[in-house]
Amino acid sequence: MEELEQWKEQFSHLSNLAMDRLREVPPNQLYVAAAIAIFTTLLLFSVRLLKRAKSNTVVLTGLSGSGKTVLFYQLRDGSTHEGTVTSMEPNEDTFILHNEETRKGKIKPVHIVDVPGHSRLRPKLDEYLPQAAGIVFVIDALDFLPNCRAASEYLYDLLTKGSVVRKKIPVLILCNKTDKVTAHTKEFIRRQMEKEIDKLRASRSAISDADIANEFTLGVPDEPFSFTQCSNKVTAADASGLTGEISQLEEFIREHVKQ
């Protein structure tokens, strides 16, 4: 109790000293100090709000020929753009999703970037990932098995990028062309890619304890790889760009680009 009383007396003494010093300061200096304190507080608050502001960018990526550009035009205007040839430059635009054009009320536009899948053009992807609210990794479900290894390597590199892991950017594995009878299911594609990525983990770690090509590692040591082990959410969905069946893609976009 005596210690508590001593603390109280010391606090009271310091408070009185502080008040005496404040009375000695000219009023105009107090006003300036107060204004600076308020301005600093507002500035810090604004910066925090800007940091919290959600991005409206969604990146479409994947191997060449997977149908990314057709999906881009389906999202923008509901067309297939006559099937579209392989892109050699990113398609980029900000628009209201085609299926939302008839809706009433304020609708937030989405910034969609279709990044070419050619290996020489993939560095373009790094320009857009830091601002992405979501990533759509497009797979050709019709021609999946011959491209499984290449697609898995591409996705492995994507999931170990610092810009993706640190921000925990959600990734959608979009299995395109599933309207065809011979197309593989999203469940099959997911399982096969998990197996292939598991092999990649083993082979790359055997070459070097520190995989210098990637900023982060995937999975849990001594356990088979699963997308559920990723720090960011990885899901799979079906689509058909040529028939316009892209509802699951639109749902993913709106889940991460809020109205």
Query: How confident is the model over 70-116, as pLDDT tens digits?
Result: 999 999 999 877 655 566 778 999 999 999 988 877 889 999 999 98
- Provide the whole-model pTM: 0.77
Query: How confident is the model over 192-240, as pLDDT tens digits?
Result: 999 999 999 888 766 554 445 567 888 898 899 999 999 999 999 999 9
Q: Which amino acid is it at 173?
A: I
Query: How confident is the model over 24-40, as pLDDT tens digits?
Result: 667 665 555 555 556 55
Domains and CATH numbers, the chain: 1-50 (no CATH), 57-256 (3.40.50.300)
Label residue 12 by pLDDT band (50, 70, 90).
confident
Strands 91-95 and 110-114: antiparallel
- 230 to each of 99, 251, 259, how far by Cα in Å? 31, 21, 27
Euclidean distance between CA atoms 31 and 199, whole angstroms: 67
What sign for the dihedral angle of Cα 154, 157, 161, 167?
Answer: positive
Label residue 14 by pLDDT band (50, 70, 90).
low
Euclidean distance between CA atoms 197 and 203, whole angstroms: 10
Q: What contacts 227, CB < 8 A, 6 or more positions away? A: 173, 190, 194, 234
Count of C-beta atoms within a 10 Å radius of residue 237: 18
